[in-house]
Amino acid sequence: MPRRKIKIERKWNPDPVYNSIAVTRFINNLMRNGEKSKAQKIFYKAMDIIQQKTGENPIKVFQTAIKNVAPVVEVWPRRIGGATFMVPRQVRSERRFSKAVKWIIESARNKKGKPMFEKLAEEIIAASQEEGDAYKKKVEVHKLAETNKAFAHFGWWGRRQK
């Protein structure tokens, strides 16, 4: 039985510079300890660097990076008959975006030796070109789902049928 009966629909306000809800959500994930203005400065500086390095529209590079990093399938552990199987299943669109954003931020934070806005810009550029740590994470998840596709028939297990 689901833990939550109703889905909570969130309303996001678009950011003031690019007028994009995706940018707002990215900034909110980038934020630490409620310091939103700091997260905004980091993001907008990263966008300026992307503009300088690529010469393209930075929001298009950002959207391409999100699209390239977003996973299509992932694995969920299912306990069946005393054994735990990793069952592949498709990822909902909302979760795809969330995973992509978190992987890009995490891989940027794990780099050392530069300010965060430079690391973030490099990671977004790399992800838009299907390179970088965040893209590698997506490929690993897809490989794991591919190796466990024999257990896909367990996907219905444990869920109520309507």
For residue range 107-139, list pLDDT tens digits in order.
999 999 999 999 999 999 999 999 999 999 999
User: Does residue 109 fall inside a structural domain?
Assistant: yes
pTM for the model: 0.87
**Stretch 9-18: mean pLDDT:** 90
Into how many domains does the chain fold?
A: 1
Tell me what percent of the residues of the chain surpass a pLDDT of 90.
Answer: 68
The first and second tokens of residue 48, run together, are: 């300026």
Domain region containing 60: 21-156
User: Does residue 9 fall inside a structural domain?
Assistant: no
CATH number of the domain residue 142 falls in: 1.10.455.10
User: Does residue 49 fall inside a structural domain?
Assistant: yes
How buried is residue 31: exposed, middle or buried, by Cβ count under 10 Å (0-12/13-18/19+)? middle
Query: Whose CA is closest to 127, among 100, 153, 156, 149?
Result: 100
User: Does residue 14 fall inside a structural domain?
Assistant: no
